[in-house]
Chains A and B, each alone.
Chain A
Amino acid sequence: MTKDRRNADVIVIGGGIHGCSTALHCAMRRLSVILIEKDHAGRHASGVNAGGVRQLARHVAEIPLSNASMALWHDIADLIDDDCGFTSDGQVLVAEDEADLEGCRARVADLTLRGFHHEELIDAKELREIVPAVSETCPGGVISRRDGAAIPLRATQAFKRKAESLGATIREGVRVTKVEKDGSNWRVVTDAGAFLAPRIVNAAGAWADRIAADLGEPVPLEVIAPMLMITAPLPAFIKPVVILRGRKLSFKQFGNGTVLIGGGHLGTPLRDENVTLLDWRKLAISAGTVWDLFPIMRGAPIVRAWAGIEARMPDDLPVFGRSARHEGVYHQFGFSAHGFQLGPGAGAVMAEIIATGRSNVPIDGLGIARFTTTH
């Protein structure tokens, strides 16, 4: 029975959206897969983030993966039998002053030169049409019209369920303790015994540095706890997701009227205890930013706040692609608080690389070698 399987073509370590997406796409290519997750799928960053499905404001090196992913998001129900609550009303980057707007102009021009057209500059008039409640002092911004948001835990678990339905073995509550070579295989040692596969994917999120270190490819991964707050239901006043260029803010109103406020202010993660501590003074700064930008929100009650456990790389870019040292090892971690949208596409690309040896989607600049070949 697949539940007891110990050997497979691929072992995926980590049940976030990246691990689950890779497991699904490998299963779709008829590779046998075992996914090993120490808690439950979507327990950490993938399940508790702001749910932004965003191409807007990405580093150029991520854009090809992001493009591949966005195509999947817009038909996500076909892929995983669940619409994941995905809505697409665009995402808008709001410029707070002329200097900001100039920066926006330069960015859009740069993207256009590179052949990317998903970001468009908008002026004050259009900004106020799309985001009527935004402060009058904002001179314009950038919009990515096909962007939107989804429900993170639901999406992650839908990927898991679909992978399982296609034959993937999902082992939750199993913690990897060591990874070592065993002939032509990799032996993944866990607290529930060992598993063997010729190919392994390190999608272990905030714990991926430990796997990488085991493999002799240490990386400077930082564990962070980005904080979020959500309000009680408010009358509908904003459709697209809003982010800022200068200050930390991401801002989204759901269909039920609640408003999610994020942006990356950091709490304190305790990754070995699955605990995060909130920093209310920093949340107060988020609140102040919303106060400035959306006066209409000033009396809104905040009913919940939380923070996930995420991995950040020093250059804010993920580690994605083949190992720099070993045959059959692949890395897919370090998404630095903006990996959710990339999940569907990254899993497809990773499965393609595993199955065929290559992918048409450019992933230059994302490899682990950039951290391990500096000596």
Chain B
Amino acid sequence: MTPIASIEQLAESYDLLVVGAGPAGLSAAARAAELGLSVLLADENPAPGGQIYRAVTTSPVKNRAILGDDYWRGADIVARFERSQATYAARCTVWSIGPDETAAGSFELGLSLDGKARIIGAKQVILATGAQERPFPIPGWTLPGVMTAGAAQIALKSAGAIPSGRTVIAGCGPLLYLLAGQLAAAGCQIAAVLDTTPSANWSKALGAIPDFLRSPYLAKGLKLMLAARRKLRFVSGVTGLTATGEGKLASVQFEQEGRTGTIACDTLLLHQGVIPSVNFSNAAGCAHDFDGKQHAWVPRVDAWFASTVPGIAIAGDGAGIGGAESAALCGEIAALGTASRLGKLNEAERDRQAAPIRTELDKRLRGRRFLDLLYKPAPQFLAPPKDETIVCRCEEVTAGQVRDAAKRLGVTGPNQMKAFLRCGMGPCQGRLCGPTVVELIAETRGTTPAETGYYRLRPPVKPVTLAELAALPQTEASVKAVVR
């Protein structure tokens, strides 16, 4: 593996550019390089691993039991990538993608590293930008002291740090129990775990239990849940949450079957599942559908994870939540598809290599449906009922404002909503408000998220400074093209 220290070191173009160094990106890059493609893996973080394997090569945590074996397995994926001939650009943000007008079917991507930008060519692209936390808008969620469960995991993995005071963990989903266990093992003072899993979901998930019982999740999940419940104060069936404090978090109020409670705390960690990060795939023009099972927008991909834009594949959680191990397998399959499209591999050989990976992948995905059904958030956590709840954190737009615009002005979708309220126009580009805005519009208009649509995103997928853009190296052809 060739590490890149400055943007000038990048080649003008590569066979394959992989965006994101999580399990899917690492596996895709390694497999593609092993198949003889020239590969660049670009990732905005300082070290490989994405989120789930964050800091797996640099973590200062010595006691391996705290983070658990599943986490440390990520080191093998990194090691394989490091043995490959791929090029790796860390701290490198990929901010745009578009067709290369000089090479039909190929792409040009805008990259930035250390304040300098360049446009790099790639014949094929694999987006492996993974997942993000599903937004969890409750009153007071913007207070300092309220963070995501993922943030606490990142702090633990990469800095060996845990919340220092009284901590409340709230939400639903397997990660909740995992985090509670990890933090407790690390010595964090967990005042309570507030579980918002709707009790009605158990009966809905019953139908998917047979598969779940045959899946690897059962043993893992049960163990985590039992361990967490044994040691910690657990409150189930929580139907409402409010974070309160002046200038910073001081307490959490919760509602549960008609009764309310208040817990003084310094840190509140929220989590209600993860959803695909669609900003890049959306900006690239890939088609997305609203997946009712995952209750999230998911890019449309085929059996090789090729998107609706020829030449762009999407691997890992970014193409549908399947977990870390599935992500690695998807990355391999996407790489095989890419190599075959570039003529490095005939289809028979491609299929032969993919077969055992697909078998493994099917095993991993079995049982996900149960998790999707069980942990689908209750409506009030998708579309916050209290009008004063901030929905767009960047522009400070409230749920009430969105409902009002949908009702009074007849705004039918999030793109028009943007123009009226500015939600989605801040630097996060709708990552934290998009899903909620869609739910609120759908609820107000009596329709569904699928019918409401999502933001129409454009590059830059992450902000790029005027200075970087102004200094972008120009080609002769582009200088001529401007004259008209």
Interface set of A (CB-CB < 8 Å, partner B): 40, 42, 47, 151-154, 157, 161, 230-232, 256, 265-266, 268, 275, 277-285, 287-288, 290-291, 297-306
Residues of B within 8 A of A256 (CB): 422
**Are A281's CB and B119's CB within 8 A?**
yes
Given A40-B416, A284-B472, A284-B474: 6 more A-B contacts, CB < 8 Å: A154-B420, A285-B474, A297-B466, A301-B466, A304-B425, A304-B429
Among A151, A265, A278, point to the contact of B98 (Cβ < 8 A): A278
Q: A278-B458, A280-B472 are contacts. A301–B463 as well, Cβ < 8 Å?
A: yes
B469 sits at the interface (CB 8 A): yes
- Knowing A40-B416, A298-B467, A302-B466 are in contact, say whether A281-B459 is a contact too (CB < 8 A): no
B residues in contact with A42, CB < 8 Å? 419
Which residues from A are CB-within-8-Å of B474? 281, 284-285
Closest to A301 in B: B463
Q: With a CB–CB cut-off of 8 A, which chain B residues contact A268?
A: 101
State A190–B470 Cα separation when bound (angstroms): 46
- Name the residue on B nearest A267 (C-beta): B98
Q: From residue A222, how far is it (CB to closest CB) to chain B in Å? A: 11
* Chain A proximity of B317: nearest CB distance (Å): 25
What is the distance, in angstroms, from A82's C-beta to the closest C-beta of chain B?
10
B482 within 8 A of A: yes
Question: Do B119 and A304 touch (CB < 8 A)?
Answer: no
Residue in A268, A284, A298, A300 whose Cβ sees the most chain B Cβ within 10 Å: A284
Sample of 10 A–B contacts (CB below 8 Å): A157-B409, A232-B463, A256-B422, A278-B96, A280-B119, A280-B459, A291-B470, A298-B465, A302-B466, A303-B429
A367, B470: Cα distance in complex, Å = 41
Contact with A along B99-110 (1 / 0, CB 8 A): 101000000101
Query: Would you call B399 an interface residue if the criterion is a C-beta within 8 Å of the partner chain's C-beta atoms?
Result: no
> Which chain A residue lies CB-closest to B110?
A280
Closest CB in chain A relative to B366 CB, distance in Å: 38
Kindly state the separation between the CA atoms of A76 and B464 in the bound complex, as whole angstroms: 36
With A and B bound together, what is the CA distance between A302 and B462 in angstroms?
A: 9
Query: Are B465 and A304 in contact (CB-based, < 8 A)?
Result: no
CA distance A153 to B416 in the complex (A): 8
Does B359 sit at the interface, judged by CB under 8 A? no
A303 and B466 in contact (CB under 8 A), knowing A153-B416, A278-B98, A280-B110? no
B482 touches A265 (CB 8 A): yes
Whole-angstrom distance between the alpha carbons of A281 and B478 in the complex? 7
A287 contacts B466, C-beta separation under 8 Å: yes
* B460 within 8 A of partner (CB): yes
B469→A302 contact, CB < 8 A: yes
Q: Number of contacting residues on B, CB 8 A?
A: 37
A284 to B117, CA, bound (A): 10
Q: Are the CB atoms of B460 and A282 closer together than 8 Å?
A: no
Assembled-state Cα–Cα distance A275/B287 (Å): 13
**Residues of chain B contacted by A279 (CB below 8 angstroms):** 98, 478, 481
| Minimum CB distance partner of B419 in chain A | A153
The answer to whether A305 touches B465 (Cβ under 8 A) is: no
With A153-B416, A154-B419 in contact, do A302 and B463 touch (Cβ < 8 Å)?
Answer: yes
Given contacts A284-B474, A302-B464, A303-B427, contact A278 B459 (CB under 8 A): yes
Q: Report whether B416 and A281 are in contact in the complex, using a CB–CB cutoff of 8 Å.
A: no
Q: Does B426 contact A (CB under 8 A)?
A: yes
Interface string of B448-484 (1 = CB under 8 A from A): 0000000000111001111101111011001001101
Chain B residue with minimal CB distance to A276? Answer: B458
Our pick among A281, A290, A304 for the contact of B475 (Cβ within 8 Å) is A281
Complex: how many Å from CA A285 to CA B480?
12
The reply to whether B465 and A302 contact each other, CB–CB distance below 8 Å, is yes
Instruction: Give chain B interface residues in 393-446, CB to chain A under 8 Å.
Output: 409-410, 412, 416, 419-420, 422, 425-427, 429
B325 to nearest A CB, angstroms?
A: 35
Chain A residues lying within 8 Å of B426, measured Cβ to Cβ, are 232, 303
CA distance A297 to B101 in the complex (A): 30
Chain A residue nearest to B484 (CB atoms) is A266
- Contact between chains at B427 and A301 (CB < 8 Å): yes
Q: B285 an interface residue at 8 Å Cβ cutoff?
A: yes
Counting chain A CB atoms within 10 Å of each CB, the highest count among B412, B419, B459, B467 belongs to B419
Q: How far in angstroms is the closest Cβ of chain B from A164?
A: 10
A84 to B484, CA, bound (A): 33
Q: How far is the CA of A182 from the CA of B429 in the complex (A)?
A: 49
Q: Are A282 and B466 in contact (CB under 8 A)?
A: no
Q: Which residues of B contact A281 (CB under 8 A)?
A: 119, 472, 474-475, 478, 481
From B477, which residue of chain A is reached at the shortest CB distance?
Answer: A281
Do A280 and B466 contact each other (CB < 8 Å), given the known contacts A303-B460, A304-B425? Answer: no
Q: How far is the CA of A266 from the CA of B101 in the complex (A)?
A: 14
Q: What chain A residues lie within 8 Å of B471 (beta carbons)?
A: 284
Across the interface, do A277 and B419 meet the contact criterion of CB distance under 8 Å? no
From residue A340, how far is it (CB to closest CB) to chain B in Å? 14
* A-B pairs with lowest CB-CB distance, top 6: A153-B419, A287-B469, A301-B463, A281-B478, A284-B472, A287-B470
The smallest C-beta distance from B337 to any residue of chain A, in angstroms, reads 24
Q: Establish whether residues B99 and A277, one from each chain, have CB atoms under 8 Å apart when the complex forms.
A: yes
Q: Are B465 and A299 in contact (CB under 8 A)?
A: yes
Least CB distance, A227 to chain B, in whole angstroms: 10
Q: How distant is the Cα of A285 from the Cα of B472 in the complex, in angstroms? A: 9
